[in-house]
Amino acid sequence: MMDTAAIIDLKLHETDLEEREKEQVRAGVSHIMKKQINSGNYMNKIDTWISSSIKSLTTNNNICITKADKGNAVVILDKNDYNQKMQTMINEGPYDELIQDPTPDFTDLIEVHSSSLKTNEKLSDAEYSKINQKTPRAPLIYGAPKVHKPDTPLRPVVDFRSSPTYNLAAMLSNILKKVASKHEYTVKNGEEFVKGIKNIKIRPGDQMISFDVVSLFTKVPIKETLKIIKKDFKIMIT
């Protein structure tokens, strides 16, 4: 049964189905398997070797177990290969090595500004407490394997959840969503995009182009982006 599920997942990566349709297939397979597992003493037969296999994987220091970039699949990589790809990605990316950890400085800066806003009654006590992280740490970067691409490259993912700016960014995100939802170039998801282009007439000689930007978020020009946000936010308010 597990071999069948693995084969189905591998074959899904070779199809032209949309990610939503692939998830529907996976959900259907999972439903069938759960019904079979819950019947009789099936779990008693496989429980022993599954437990020993999982324990063997988790104690193996030569592999890296992580989730794929797409498809909610679990990927097992050679640790040396993973580390080499991560190092290459960092060396070639828009990153600078810092002499010291700036986390304490950012923590103090946020506390000073949020305290001033609370004093001027721009922030409530609850918002002030939420913005300021109690035990902040520097963000952590890891790579999500792109199993649907040749040589399984990694997508950089940065975990900011305990960083000093995370809660502040979450609050700002809720505000900026109101701006983005009214923008003419914003789409909610892939399904909405498909509906939007369904009735577009392609003329002879026209070409449809899709741009695949490498490490998009780390290459967004911050100063220009802030100017656009400020401009659109003013328009929304007026």
Of 40, 59, 78, the domain-final residue = 59
Domain end call among 38, 59, 80: 59
State the pairing for strand pair 140-145/154-159: antiparallel
Q: 38-47, 153-162, 196-205: lowest mean pLDDT where?
A: 38-47
Same domain assignment for residues 23 and 106: no
Nearest alpha carbon to residue 9 among 68, 53, 94: 68
Check residue 185 and report its DSSP letter.
T
Higher-pLDDT residue of 34, 65: 65
- Type of residue at 105: D
Identify whether 213 is part of a domain.
yes
Evaluate whether residue 125 is within a structural domain: yes
Say if CB 110 and CB 33 are below 8 A apart: no
Q: Which residues on neighbouring strands pair with residue 142, listed in sequence order?
A: 157
How far is residue 204's CA from residue 12's CA, in Å, rounded to a whole number?
34
pLDDT of residue 70: 80
Sequence-distant (6+) residues with CB within 8 A of 89 are: 143, 154, 156, 215
Asked if residue 106 belongs to a domain, the reply is yes
**Residue 36 shares a structural domain with residue 131:** no
Residue 183 resides in a domain:
yes
- Report whether 162 contacts 136 (CB < 8 A): yes
Structural domain contains residue 66: no
Distance separating the N- and C-terminal Cα atoms of the chain: 60
User: Do the beta carbons of residue 144 and residue 69 sit within 8 Å?
Assistant: yes
* CA-based radius of gyration for the chain: 24
Question: Which pLDDT score is estimated for 236?
Answer: 58
Mean per-residue pLDDT, 189-203: 83
Residues 48 and 106 in one domain: no
Model pLDDT, residue 40: 58
* pLDDT of res. 117: 92
> In the chain, how many domains are there?
2
State the DSSP H helix or E strand holding residue 10, giving kind and residue range, or none if neither: helix 2-13
Confidence band of 45 (pLDDT split at 50, 70, 90): low
Structural domain includes residue 84: no
Residues 197 and 137 in one domain: yes
The arithmetic mean of pLDDT across residues 196-200, rounded, is 83
* 112 and 46 inside one domain: no
User: Do 10 and 104 have their domain in common?
Assistant: no
Residue 77 in any domain: the answer is no
Residue percentage of the chain with pLDDT more than 70: 92
Kindly report whether the global pTM for this prediction surpasses the value 0.85: no
Between residues 222 and 45, the one the model is more confident about:
222
122 has a pLDDT exceeding 60: yes
Q: Is the pLDDT of residue 52 over 80?
A: no
Contact 121, 107 (CB under 8 A): no
- Distance, CA of 105 to CA of 181 (rounded, Å): 34
Residues 118, 232, single domain; the answer is yes
Q: What share of the chain is helix, strand, coil (3-state, %, to 5)?
A: 55, 10, 35
pLDDT of residue 12: 83
- What single-letter amino acid sits at 152? T
How do residues 217-231 score in pLDDT, each as one tens digit? Answer: 777 888 998 888 788
Q: Residues 136, 226: one domain?
A: yes
229 and 119 housed in the same domain: yes
Chain mean pLDDT for the chain: 84
Q: What domain range is 5 assigned to? A: 1-59
- Whether residue 73 lies inside any domain: the answer is no
Q: Are residues 128 and 21 in the same domain?
A: no
Q: Is the pLDDT of residue 85 over 90?
A: yes
Tell me, yes or no, whether 23 and 100 share the same domain.
no
Section 147-171 average pLDDT: 89
Residue 83 pLDDT more than 90?
A: yes
Overall average pLDDT of the 16-22 stretch: 82
Whether 36 and 102 map to the same domain: the answer is no
In this prediction, residue 32 carries a pLDDT of: 84
**Alpha carbons 229 and 232: distance in angstroms, whole number:** 5
